[in-house]
Amino acid sequence: MEEGGGRRWARVCAFFVKNYRKKWALDLAGIAGFDRVRTKFIQELRHKEFLTVKLLNLTNFSLEALLLFCLLHGGSLLNHISVASFHVVMADHALMVADTSHAIVDHSLVIGQEFPDVETCRRTLKDIAIALHFDLRIVKSDRSRFIAKCSKEGCPWRVHVAKCPGVPTFSIRTLNGKHTCEGVRNLHHQQASVGWVARSVEARIRDNPQYKPKEILQDIRDQHGVAVSYMQAWRGKERSMAALHGTFEEGYRLLPAYCEQIRKNNPGSVASVFATGQENCFQRLFFSYRASIYGFITACRPLLELDKAELKGKYLGTLLCAAAVDADDALFPLAIAIVDVESDENWMWFMSELRKLLGVNTENMPRLTILSERQRGIVDAVETHFPSAFHGFCLRYVSENFRDTFKNTKLVNIFWNAVYALTTVEFESKIAEMIEISQEVIQWFQLFPPQLWAVAYFEGVRYGHFTLGVTEMLYNWALECHELPIVQMMEHIRNQLATWFNDRREMGMRWTSILVPSAEKRISEAIADAHCYQVLRANEVEFEIVSTERTNIVDIRSRVCSCRRWQLYGLPCAHAAAALISCGQNAHLFAEPCFTVGSYRETYSQMIHPIPDKSVWNELGEGADGGAAKLDILIRPPKIRRPPGRPKKKVLRVENLKRPKRVVQCGRCHLLGHSQKKCTMPI
């Protein structure tokens, strides 16, 4: 080291030693982007007993602090830290960092300082003790005074706070702000209680309810230099969540009042809650907004998806949903229910409520196509309340069962070709190919009849929808809301529905085409393919479309094509497009009305209105409509509670259902599963 540099190090050491003996505080700042390095630095300085740490959450270390650390530790940290240019100001024998871009938190106390109440005083002193790393001992705390001192024997730090006469405020009467003790030398601090953790993370949890305890304890260690246990972090989060959103028990108690607010602020909506037993334990909740009911009946295609999602909250439960599909193939939730447990009885009740909802709001019940996993309870409920509906399998469920049963790549690919076969002849040929590979396919078809999933045999109109899109939506809701009470969960769902309605309403008003974009794209593809066909006109409405593969008959009045694609998807196929173009018609005008921009706008024409704050609700009052629980009945949580331990995460597997995977076949040995380049057979 050069001579000038050596003299500078000596002056720095002398400065710190001199001020250490007088116990002047040093204002330290953090390192932007290097929280862990900052914490390690603070710990090392604290263990060397050279200073008392006052602040940890600023942006740049003071130059003297860095020089001292490098003197003690060989300067190795300089390889990791970029020191910004700033100057050090000496004022009142204290070392301060001049930085106007970041606010410095003031932890000083002065005589005459006032607090709104004794609780605020207690919390403020606790925060100061944690920030300055000394233990606080409360000598006296009552309605009129609060006395605290440093817990170290012989340390003179002491504060006396008393109530001001005639007003509820408290003020500092006497104060000895000097410390002669070494403070807390480890990361654990007695004042870092569960309540302090809850207050520290409240703002973060308000923005992110999924804030994990592991992240909480790490952030507290980085920001405050204090180590808390996982259980402290978990309990702190629970307490903060209860302060922000209320308790789970309070959520069930508020359900009747919340349902009344839905009906009051969204006239025509359905919202009812049911309790069971002498203790009035929660059993069922059903709600559907008038905007969703009107949009489905007026403009959506007659297609419903049924599915459920398990809730992982304190009292568990199951989320049930019936969702439609709008003109642009986006999911459109119609009715939602929360039940204490998934059962055949609860599915029967849910479908009965759905039947009443549709029956009240329409004179002619449309003949629905319903898709689900066809569990026994769902099948019985659909047959009871919607006997004329076409009830089909979700193709994801069927395909996963087929794949897991046979574990044969070639068989699975033939299965996909059979699924999308438009005619029975084509379907039967694919079935014959599968039977040649495995005779067990015949038994599998007895468990999953093709009439319930195959395009060629299913009698309902699915408009190209073969899987349950509602599954992913429910899974996301259950994941986002499992930390929230039931009323807050309903509010989260309502907010998301209101956002969807508003965004899609604005998007629909910007469209100028006849059909929605997804339908426009498919019509354009059909028109492009139509140019390779030869059109022979039989009469005004019937056409013969000739291609190299086959000949198809198109009837533009009945909107029927012998390939069946027009009937199954609701949009003119390439054969129909060729016939319409040949007679000067606009193919876009022959799509089903549910695909038009006008229908899309009508779907989202109604609004979902907000619910006022719970402080203005009537928790006690008149009874609810529809046989639901009355407002003067106290609904308690269900008997079932979440078991101890970490809940298992369900991995949602979404397959590509558009086309089958390509099977590689060797060009030399003609076996499947490898290419000629990787063939191991001898030449």
- pLDDT above 70 covers a percentage of the chain that reads 76
Q: Which residue has the higher pLDDT, 213 or 642?
A: 213
pTM of the model: 0.69
Which pLDDT score, from 0 to 100, does residue 167 have? 87
- Mean pLDDT along residues 527-541: 90
The tokens for 475 are 């899974």
Residue 312's CB: how many other CB atoms inside 10 A? Answer: 18
Q: What is the pLDDT of residue 630?
A: 55
Q: Look at residue 70 and tell me whether its pLDDT is greater than 70.
A: no
Residue 35 pLDDT greater than 70, yes or no:
no
> Between these two residues, 210 and 344, which has the higher pLDDT value?
344
C-alpha–C-alpha distance, residues 351 and 366, integer Å: 15
Split at pLDDT 50, 70, 90, the class of 631 is low
Half-sphere exposure of 533 (CA within 13 A, CB side): 28
What is the pLDDT averaged over residues 499-523?
Answer: 94
Amino acid 499: pLDDT: 94
Mean pLDDT over all residues of the chain? 78
- pLDDT greater than 90 at residue 286: yes
Percent of the chain past pLDDT 90, that is, above it, reads: 31
Q: Is 213 helix (H, G, I), strand (E, B) or coil?
A: helix
Once rounded to an integer, what is the mean pLDDT over residues 667-674? 68
- Would you say residue 92 has pLDDT above 70? no
pLDDT over threshold 50, residue 671: yes
Confidence of residue 316 (pLDDT cuts 50, 70, 90): confident
Summarised one tens digit per residue, pLDDT across range 581-621 is: 999 999 999 999 999 999 999 999 999 999 988 877 764 43
User: In this structure, are residues 157 and 149 in contact, taking their beta carbons and an 8 Å threshold?
Assistant: yes
**What pLDDT is attached to residue 243?**
74
User: What confidence score (pLDDT) does residue 670 get?
Assistant: 64
Compute the radius of gyration of the chain from its Cα atoms: 35
* pLDDT computed for residue 105 by the predictor: 52
Which residues, in sequence order, are bridge partners of residue 288? 270
156-160, 303-307, 443-447, 649-653: least confident range: 649-653
Q: What's the pLDDT score for residue 645?
A: 67
- Report, as an integer, the average pLDDT of 93-101: 32
Please state, in angstroms and rounded to a whole number, the distance separating the CA atoms of residues 467 and 307.
11
Highest mean pLDDT: which range of 119-123, 242-246, 303-307, 309-313: 303-307
Tens of pLDDT along 173-218? 888 888 888 777 777 777 788 888 888 888 887 887 778 888 888 8
Lowest model confidence (mean pLDDT) among 61-75, 204-218, 244-258, 475-489? 61-75
Per-residue confidence (pLDDT) for residue 87, from 0 to 100: 30
Q: What string of H, E and C letters represents the secondary structure of 586-643?
A: CHHHHCCHHHEHHHHHHHCCCCCCCCCCHHHCCCCCCCCCCCCCCCCCCCECCCCCCC
Question: What is the pLDDT, as a whole number, of residue 106?
Answer: 58
- Alpha-carbon distance 136 to 125, whole Å? 8
Least confident of 16-30, 164-178, 364-378: 16-30
Mean pLDDT (whole number) for 249-274? 91
Mean per-residue pLDDT for 479-499? 88
pLDDT at 600: 95
Q: How many other CB atoms sit within 10 Å of the CB of residue 264?
A: 15
Please, which pLDDT band fits residue 59 given cuts at 50, 70 and 90?
Answer: very low
Those residues whose C-beta lies under 8 Å from the C-beta of residue 193, and which sit 6 or more positions away, are 126, 232
pLDDT at 98 over 70: no
Amino acid at 47: H
Say whether pLDDT at 107 is over 80.
no
Task: Say yes or no to pLDDT of 25 above 70.
Answer: no
Q: State whether residue 220 is helix, strand or coil.
A: helix
pLDDT band of 21, cuts 50, 70, 90: very low
Q: What is the average pLDDT across 286-303?
A: 93
Structure tokens at 257: 């009042």
DSSP strand pairing (390-393 vs 369-372): parallel
- What pLDDT, on the 0 to 100 scale, is given for residue 677? 67
Q: Give the C-alpha separation, 20 to 51, whole Å.
A: 6
Task: Yes or no: say if 527 and 519 are a contact pair by the CB < 8 Å rule.
Answer: no
Q: Tell me the per-residue pLDDT of 454-467, one tens digit each, with 9 for 90 and over.
A: 988 998 888 888 88
pLDDT-derived band at 102, boundaries 50, 70, 90: very low
Q: Return left, alpha or beta for 290; rule: phi > 0 is left, psi -120 to 50 is alpha, else beta.
A: alpha
Please give the pLDDT value at position 78. 35
